[in-house]
Structures are given as C-alpha cells and as structure tokens.
C-alpha cells in the first residue's frame, strides 16, 4: 500500500516536473505548447486565441505554426523561459509593445507579408509616423476588427478622431452606417500617390463610384477637373452635399467680379427685405445647375 502511494507520488512529481523542465533550454522551440503551458486559455496573458486564426493553421506550410511556432513572431525566446534573475521572466526577443522598437516589430510581419498591398509600406505616412502593424491588426483574436467591413472604421477613428467627428456630420459618406469603409478610398499600407488614396489622383478615386462626374464635358468647370476637394470635404461636412462652404460663398471664393453684381451676397438679400436669386434655395445653382460640367451646346455658363 505505502509503496504504491510512493510510486504514485513519484509519478505525479515526475509529470508535474516535466512541465517545468520544459522551460529548460531543451524545450521544443517550434512547439506552441512550450508557451501555452503558461499562456493558455486560462493562464496569464492568454494567447491561445491565435490557434483559431490563419496564423495558427499548421496545415498551411507558410503559417507561423507550421514553421517556428510562437517564435516565428516572438523570436528566439529561450531566456524568457529560463532567466528569472530580475524576479520576472526575461522578455521574449520580440514583444509587440513599447519594449521592442516599431521597425523591429514590423520587420517580423514584413518577412512574410512584404509583397502585394505592402509594396509601398516603406516611406508611407503610417510607417513614417511609427505606426506598427499591430497598431491596426490584432493577431491573437479570432476576429481582427480592422479586417471586417463593419468594424474597420472603429479602428481607424480610434487614432483619427477628427474623422470620427466628420463622418457624423449632417452630410457624409455612409461610413457611420457601415455601408462604406475607409479602405474604399484609402490603402493604409501605402500608395504611390498622396494621402494614401487607392487611386493616384483624388478625382480618379471619386470616379470609381461617381462615374457620371467623369465626363467628358463639352463645357468643363476648371476646379472640377482639378480636384473634387476644391468644393467637397470627402469625410463629411455640415453643408449639404458635403460642400466645404455654403453657396453662394463657396462660388464667390473664386468668382467675385463676374457677370453679376460683384458683391458678396449677405443675409440682407433674403425675404422679407427682398429676394436675391443668388440667396434663395440653391443660390448660384438656381441658374448654374451644371456645376460639374455641361454637354449642352449653349452650356458655356454651366446653366444647362
Ligand atoms: C513558465 C511560464 C511561461 C512560459 C512557459 C512562457 N511565458 Fe511568456 N510570460 C510569462 C510571464 C510570467 C509573463 C509576464 C512577464 C511580465 O509581466 O513582465 C510573460 C510574458 C510574455 C509576453 C509579454 C512580454 C511583455 O513584456 O509584454 C510575451 C510576448 C510572452 N510571454 C511570450 C511567450 C512565448 C512566445 C513563450 C514560448 C516561447 C512564452 N511566453 C512562454 C511566463 C511564461
Ligand atoms: C503572427 C505573429 C504572432 C504569432 C505567431 C504569435 N504572436 Fe503573440 N503577439 C503577437 C502580436 C502582434 C502581439 C500584440 C497583441 C496583438 O496584436 O494581439 C502579441 C502578443 C502576445 C502576448 C502578450 C499579450 C498581452 O496580453 O500583453 C503574449 C503572452 C503572446 N503574444 C504569446 C504568444 C504565444 C504563446 C504564441 C504561440 C501560441 C504567440 N504569441 C504567437 C504576434 C504573434
Ligand atoms: C511565418 C510567416 C508569417 C508571419 C511572421 C506573419 N504572418 Fe500574417 N499570414 C501568414 C499566412 C501564411 C497567412 C494566410 C494568408 C496567406 O496564405 O497568404 C497570413 C495572413 C495574415 C493576414 C490576413 C488575415 C485574414 O484573415 O485574411 C493578416 C492581416 C496578417 N497575416 C497580419 C500579420 C501581422 C500583423 C504579422 C506580424 C505581427 C504577421 N501577419 C506575421 C504568415 C505570416
Ligand atoms: C493603419 C492601419 C493598418 C496598418 C498600420 C497595417 N494594416 Fe494591414 N490591413 C489594414 C486593413 C484595413 C486591411 C484590410 C484591407 C481591405 O479590406 O482592403 C489590412 C489587410 C492586411 C492583410 C490582408 C490582405 C492582404 O493584402 O493580403 C495583410 C496580410 C496585412 N494587412 C498585413 C499588414 C502588415 C504586415 C502591416 C505592417 C507592415 C500592416 N498590415 C499594417 C490596416 C492596416
Ligand atoms: C470617399 C472617399 C474617402 C473615404 C471613404 C475616406 N477618405 Fe480619407 N481622404 C479622402 C481624400 C480624397 C483625401 C485627401 C483630401 C485632400 O487632399 O484634401 C483624404 C484624406 C485623409 C486624411 C489626411 C488629410 C486629412 O484630411 O486629415 C486622413 C487622415 C484620412 N483621409 C483618414 C480617413 C479615415 C480614417 C477614413 C475612414 C473613417 C477615411 N479617411 C475615409 C477620401 C476618403
Ligand atoms: C495607431 C494609430 C493609427 C491608426 C489605428 C490609424 N492611423 Fe492613419 N495615421 C496615423 C498617424 C500617426 C498618421 C500620420 C500623421 C497624420 O497625418 O495624422 C496617419 C496618417 C494617415 C493618413 C494621412 C496620410 C497623409 O498623406 O497625410 C491617412 C489617409 C490615414 N492615416 C488613414 C488611416 C486609415 C484608413 C486607418 C484605418 C484602416 C488608419 N489610418 C488607422 C495613425 C493611425
Ligand atoms: C466606394 C464608392 C464611393 C467613392 C469612392 C466615393 N463615393 Fe461619394 N458617395 C458614395 C455613396 C454610396 C454615396 C451616398 C449616396 C446616397 O446617399 O444616395 C455618396 C455620396 C456622395 C455625395 C453626396 C452627399 C450628399 O449628402 O448628398 C458627394 C458630394 C460625394 N459622394 C462626393 C464624393 C467625392 C468628392 C469622392 C472622392 C473623394 C467620392 N464621393 C468617392 C460612394 C462613393
Ligand atoms: C466647383 C465646386 C465643385 C467641384 C469642384 C465639385 N463639385 Fe460636386 N457638387 C458641387 C455642388 C455645388 C453640388 C450641389 C449641387 C446641387 O445642389 O445642385 C455638388 C454635388 C455633388 C454630388 C451630389 C449630387 C449629384 O450631383 O450627384 C456629387 C456625387 C458630387 N458633387 C460629386 C463630385 C465629384 C465626384 C467631383 C469631382 C470630379 C465634384 N463633385 C467636384 C460643387 C462641386
Ligand atoms: C476653386 C475656384 C472655383 C470655385 C470654388 C468655383 N469656380 Fe467656377 N470657375 C472657376 C474657374 C477657374 C473657371 C474658368 C474661368 C475661365 O475659363 O475664365 C470657372 C468657370 C465658371 C463658369 C463659366 C464662366 C466662364 O467664363 O466660362 C461658371 C458659370 C462658374 N464657374 C460658376 C461657378 C459656380 C456656380 C460655383 C459654385 C458652385 C463655382 N463656379 C465655383 C473657378 C471656381
Ligand atoms: C438668376 C440666374 C443666375 C444666378 C442666380 C446666378 N447666375 Fe451667374 N449667370 C447667369 C447668366 C444668365 C449668365 C450669363 C450667361 C451667358 O451670357 O450666356 C451668368 C454668368 C455667370 C458667369 C460667367 C461670367 C462671365 O464673365 O462670363 C459666372 C462666373 C457666374 N455667372 C457665376 C455665378 C455665381 C458665382 C453665382 C452665385 C453667386 C451666380 N452666377 C448666380 C445667371 C445666374
């Protein structure tokens, strides 16, 4: 009886000990189980969620789990398991927080993801500003918010607070409604053109959905050809049609000395004091209906 107990105790100690011994340099470096003993579902800083993401699929020979396991991203971490000299475990080679320089963190991801949409990452505004891949992506959760249409915007406006305000203004693209995303217009990883726009020029970007504004027009309106943003704020505005200013002032920023009396129209021209055409309803657009360009033979003044 007593001997059997003793054998059992030895067995328990041996088994329990084994999981601690796995922390010695001899542990299997590519085996996530070496790490999940402590970082499992109910452990400290749980990390097992990654096993249900694309990165956790051993079946994909390119995935981290099929190559060096957790260490594909966190680097050689033997000392993390063995060195407690500071009272806490020494940090793994790569952590995705302030303890590892951002360029070093990103290099890990780029090692597998340099191509395709990341071709212009180096030198892009996000790279330049020290934003990390992990600043947008969460790789340990089964659902990476930035990858889903209805949660992506939340991730972006967490940093771009002024865009959160703009997209809730009276007139805006349906971003708040989840019908559009920031990536309909931007590639956050970097682009050839300005402002991380998916097309090289602003107008090309807009034409993807507003093709009727492309023309060609017999009578063009110069500022429209130049850039839609001369008159529109693409993220939202308090003025209707996302205009940067209210008509007639919008137009008068460029057209003071026109065919018309060249006064800046003010509140004095509204009823009952009198009713200037330029102030009522759609103001200048009462007559100049074709502000984006006209194909009418006599539409030179964009009135038809
Ligand atoms: C023996 C238990 C144990 C094992 C095994 C273990 N860790 Fe840890 N790990 C810890 C503890 C404890 C902390 C918290 C340290 C702290 O708070 O400073 C931690 C923290 C971390 C952190 C966060 C570090 C930071 O500074 O933010 C990462 C990343 C990490 N571990 C990765 C790993 C990886 C990868 C493995 C497998 C190679 C692993 N751990 C194996 C105990 C362990
Ligand atoms: C694809 C790269 C990648 C792989 C593979 C990976 N990690 Fe991570 N790990 C990260 C990133 C990035 C973070 C930062 C948090 C985030 O993005 O979810 C992180 C954070 C952590 C943390 C800190 C969590 C906290 O709460 O502070 C721990 C612990 C950790 N990982 C352990 C592991 C373990 C254990 C494995 C293997 C089962 C593993 N990681 C595999 C990229 C990876
Ligand atoms: C060892 C190679 C490897 C490393 C390192 C790696 N990944 Fe991946 N990643 C993959 C593979 C494989 C896929 C699956 C898609 C594929 O086969 O191209 C993937 C897919 C993704 C996806 C698409 C997810 C989806 O749901 O479609 C994102 C986002 C991603 N990785 C981000 C990261 C980030 C951020 C890092 C750094 C923290 C990172 N990856 C590190 C190999 C890697
Ligand atoms: C500013 C936020 C942001 C940053 C920073 C960022 N990403 Fe992304 N990433 C996204 C969004 C949004 C998508 C989804 C794109 C879409 O839906 O068109 C995405 C998609 C991906 C994909 C899957 C699509 C594909 O091209 O295969 C991978 C892989 C990826 N990112 C890797 C990275 C890597 C690596 C880094 C760091 C060098 C990084 N990302 C930095 C926001 C970001
Ligand atoms: C309909 C297309 C479109 C959508 C959707 C869009 N943007 Fe933009 N964004 C633009 C254009 C065009 C510019 C360039 C503006 C300029 O040149 O005046 C720009 C510029 C920016 C800029 C830099 C200049 C500035 O205005 O601060 C930031 C930051 C930005 N966008 C973030 C976002 C975020 C975050 C989202 C999602 C909430 C988003 N954008 C959605 C078209 C868009
Ligand atoms: C971790 C914070 C962070 C997140 C998340 C983030 N950004 Fe940024 N973004 C920045 C910083 C910092 C800059 C550079 C400084 C600036 O222009 O505000 C920047 C710049 C930009 C610019 C301006 C580029 C230029 O040429 O001026 C655009 C556009 C942009 N981000 C879009 C996005 C989109 C779209 C997302 C979501 C997919 C996103 N950002 C998520 C921090 C972030
Ligand atoms: C991915 C498609 C898409 C792109 C790209 C796009 N738009 Fe839009 N735009 C929409 C949708 C959808 C609406 C809403 C239409 C509706 O409500 O009926 C809209 C509405 C508008 C409106 C009318 C808003 C109102 O309150 O009546 C203006 C002005 C506009 N867009 C300008 C632009 C400009 C300028 C650009 C380029 C910077 C652009 N759009 C790029 C899809 C797009
Ligand atoms: C000179 C100023 C100006 C420029 C530049 C301009 N727009 Fe407009 N846009 C307006 C005005 C004013 C309205 C409101 C028209 C109305 O109320 O009759 C408008 C309305 C719109 C609307 C909503 C109503 C409609 O006609 O469908 C869309 C979409 C639109 N613009 C897209 C664009 C695009 C795309 C560009 C760039 C190719 C552009 N705009 C450039 C002044 C401008
Ligand atoms: C950013 C400056 C700018 C804004 C804002 C602007 N325009 Fe123009 N507009 C021009 C330029 C430049 C021309 C071309 C003048 C030329 O060819 O002599 C023009 C031409 C015109 C013409 C044809 C006149 C001619 O001589 O051929 C009309 C009509 C016109 N604009 C009306 C408007 C209206 C209405 C608005 C307000 C919705 C407006 N414009 C806003 C710059 C602007
Ligand atoms: C009551 C109708 C009406 C209103 C309102 C109106 N216009 Fe005109 N506009 C015209 C007519 C008609 C012409 C001349 C057409 C012609 O000669 O073929 C004209 C001509 C112009 C021209 C060309 C002038 C030139 O020297 O060739 C510009 C620029 C212009 N308008 C801008 C504006 C602006 C800006 C507003 C608002 C402040 C405005 N218009 C309001 C009817 C109107």
To test the ligand 8 pocket, which listed residue (209, 231, 245) has its Cβ within 8 A of the most ligand atoms? 231
C-alpha span between 250 and 241 (Å, rounded): 12
Work out the burial of residue 212: count CB atoms within 10 Å of its CB; fewer than 13 is exposed, 13-18 middle, 19 or more buried: exposed
Domain boundaries, the chain: 24-93, 102-196, 202-286
Ligand 5 atom 6: residue of nearest CA: 182
Backbone angles phi, psi at 32, to 5 degrees: -55, -25
Residue 130: what pLDDT?
Answer: 96
The pLDDT score that the predictor gives to residue 16 is 40
Cβ(242) – ligand 6 distance below 6 Å: no
Q: What is the pLDDT along the chain (304 residues), one digit of tens a residue?
A: 355 554 444 443 344 433 443 444 445 667 888 899 899 988 899 999 999 999 999 999 999 999 899 999 999 888 998 889 999 999 999 999 999 999 999 999 999 998 777 788 999 999 999 999 999 999 999 999 999 999 999 999 999 999 999 999 999 999 999 999 999 999 999 999 899 999 999 999 999 999 999 999 999 999 999 999 999 999 999 999 999 998 888 998 888 765 666 566 666 665 666 666 666 677 889 889 999 999 999 999 999 9
Report CA Rg, the chain: 30
pLDDT of residue 282: 73
- Whose structure tokens read 């918010």? 145
The pTM of this model reads 0.92
Q: Which of 16, 24, 30, 39 to mutate to test the pocket of ligand 1 (most atoms within 8 A of CB)?
A: 39
Q: Which residues contact 66 (CB under 8 A, 6 or more apart)?
A: 57, 58, 59, 60
Provide DSSP, 85-141.
TTSSPPPPS--SSTTS-HHHHHHHHHHHH-SGGGTT-TTSHHHHTT--HHHH--SSS
Quick one: which ligand is closest to 294's CA? 9
**pLDDT for 11:** 44
d(CA 139, ligand 2 centre) in Å: 7
- Longest Cα pair distance anywhere in the chain, in angstroms? 112
In this prediction, residue 273 carries a pLDDT of 63
Please tell me what DSSP assigns to residue 59: T
163 lines ligand 10 (CB under 6 A): no
Q: For 248, list phi and psi in degrees, rounded to 5.
A: -80, -5
91 CA from centroid of ligand 1 (Å): 7
């Amino acid at each position: 009886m007593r001997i059997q107990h003793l054998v059992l105790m030895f067995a328990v100690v041996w088994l329990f000990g084994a999981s601690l011994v796995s922390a010695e340099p001899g542990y299997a470096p590519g085996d996530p189980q070496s790490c999940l003993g402590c970082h499992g579902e109910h452990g400290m800083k749980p990390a097992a969620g990654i096993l249900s993401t694309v990165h956790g699929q051993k079946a994909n020979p390119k995935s981290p789990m099929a190559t060096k396991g957790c260490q594909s991203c966190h680097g050689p971490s033997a000392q993390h398991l063995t060195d407690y000299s500071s009272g806490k475990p020494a940090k793994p080679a790569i952590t995705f927080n302030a303890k590892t320089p951002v360029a070093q963190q990103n290099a890990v991801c780029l090692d597998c993801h340099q191509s395709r949409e990341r071709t212009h990452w180096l030198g892009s505004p996000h790279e330049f500003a020290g934003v990390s891949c992990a600043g947008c992506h969460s790789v340990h959760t089964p659902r990476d918010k930035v990858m889903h249409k209805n949660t992506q915007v939340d991730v972006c406006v967490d940093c771009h607070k002024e865009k959160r305000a703009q997209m809730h203004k009276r007139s805006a693209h349906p971003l708040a409604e989840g019908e559009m995303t920031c990536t309909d217009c931007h590639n956050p990883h970097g682009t050839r053109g300005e402002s991380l726009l998916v097309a090289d020029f602003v107008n090309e970007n807009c034409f993807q959905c507003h093709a009727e504004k492309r023309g060609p027009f017999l009578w063009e309106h110069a500022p429209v050809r130049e850039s839609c943003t001369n008159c529109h704020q693409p993220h939202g505005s308090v003025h209707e049609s996302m205009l940067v200013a209210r008509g007639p002032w919008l137009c008068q920023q460029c057209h003071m000395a026109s065919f018309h009396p060249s006064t800046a129209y003010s509140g004095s021209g509204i009823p009952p004091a009198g009713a200037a055409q330029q102030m009522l309803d759609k103001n200048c657009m009462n007559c100049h209906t074709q502000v984006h360009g006209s194909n009418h033979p006599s539409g030179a003044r964009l009135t038809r």
